[in-house]
């Protein structure tokens, strides 16, 4: 697929792309999901079962929508992203969380410093999922919760066709009109980076997560995976 970068250049490509589309990112999200992303984000935060006083990391926070959803429920929210442009947009919103520029593959956070981690629509942008999940396990307290929101493919064959037309034809067209053609072609094509459910669960389990559960939202067009960091052995 033309819009996918070569392996070695993916991180730089993704960072530059999000820098570029950051001013239009929120508008595109609302338009392309018909505002439903707000409901999915609420579900992701609810899956964390946050208690007042908890510390939560919004990993690859972008413009901070998930952090914003969590801020009223928890004492301390950190949003982390490697795109300066996305963080600039997040800062403009005055969400009231700490915003840090950093890489999900090497989190600048101490071991067992978080009660919960959420990440929205970022999995397919990471270059090494196993390493990201190991980092999440390191910074989470034992028993800490994780929630991963991502696109998925509906199981119903007819819906899958409708979804493909929307995701691979209409979405890049909307992106071209409103934001950036190449970026939104990439965002559609990048689903090839997503492992299937069993592989994703295996990577999470290997990293130290248990009690994994997948919820299908919008007839399976979106997935919400939640789980718990296992207690340390020995």
Ligand X SMILES: C[S@@+](CC[C@H](N)C(=O)[O-])C[C@H]1O[C@@H](n2cnc3c(N)ncnc32)[C@H](O)[C@@H]1O
CB of 59 to ligand X, least distance (A): 7
Q: Which is nearer to ligand X, 83 or 223 (CB)?
A: 83
The closest residue (CB) to ligand X is: 62
Q: Which of 65, 94, 60, 66 shows the shortest CA–CA distance to 80?
A: 60
State the minimum distance, in angstroms, from the CB of residue 164 to ligand X.
Answer: 19
Question: Minimal distance in Å, beta carbon 195 to ligand X?
Answer: 16
CA 128, CA 96: separation in Å to the nearest integer? 30
DSSP β-ladder status, 76-81 and 140-151: unpaired
Dist CA 138 CA 57 (whole Å) = 13
Interface residues with ligand X (CB under 6 A) are: 14-15, 18, 60-62, 65-66, 81-83, 86, 103-105, 120-122, 125-126
Q: Which is nearer to ligand X, 18 or 209 (CB)?
A: 18
Q: Please, which residue, 120 or 144, has the CB nearer to ligand X? A: 120
* Strand, helix or coil for residue 146: strand
CB of 230 vs ligand X, minimal distance in Å: 24
Q: From the CB of 17, what's the least distance to ligand X, in Å?
A: 8
Beta strand residue intervals within the chain, DSSP E? 55-59, 76-81, 98-101, 114-120, 140-151, 209-217, 222-229
Q: Which is nearer to ligand X, 79 or 234 (CB)?
A: 79
Q: What is the number of other CB atoms lying within 10 angstroms of the CB of residue 137? A: 22
Q: Which is nearer to ligand X, 178 or 230 (CB)?
A: 178
CA distance 202 to 64: 29
d(CA 69, CA 97): 11
**SS3 breakdown of the chain: % helix, strand, coil, rounded to 5?**
50, 25, 30
Choice between 88 and 160, CB closer to ligand X: 88
- For residue 145, the minimal CB distance to ligand X (Å) is 17
């Amino acid at each position: 697929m033309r819009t996918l970068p070569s392996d070695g250049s993916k991180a730089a490509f993704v960072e530059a792309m999000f820098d570029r589309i950051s001013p239009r990112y929120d508008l595109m999200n609302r338009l392309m999901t018909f505002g439903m992303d707000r409901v999915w984000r609420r579900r992701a935060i609810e899956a964390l079962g946050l208690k007042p006083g908890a510390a939560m990391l919004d990993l690859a926070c972008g413009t901070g929508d998930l952090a914003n959803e969590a801020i009223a429920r928890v004492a301390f929210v950190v949003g982390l992203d490697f795109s300066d442009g996305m963080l600039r947009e997040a800062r403009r919103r005055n969400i009231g969380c700490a915003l840090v520029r950093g890489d999900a593959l090497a989190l600048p956070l101490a071991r067992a410093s978080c009660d919960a981690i959420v990440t929205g629509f970022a999995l397919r942008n990471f270059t090494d999922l196993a390493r990201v999940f190991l980092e999440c396990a390191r910074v989470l307290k034992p028993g800490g919760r994780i929630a991963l929101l991502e696109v998925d493919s509906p199981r119903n064959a007819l819906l899958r066709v409708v979804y493909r037309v929307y995701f691979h034809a209409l979405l890049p067209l909307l992106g071209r009109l409103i934001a950036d053609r190449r970026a939104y072609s990439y965002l559609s094509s990048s689903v090839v980076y997503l492992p299937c459910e069993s592989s994703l669960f295996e990577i999470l389990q290997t990293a130290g997560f248990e009690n994994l559960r997948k919820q299908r939202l919008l007839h399976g067009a979106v997935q919400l995976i939640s789980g718990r960091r296992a207690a340390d052995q020995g």
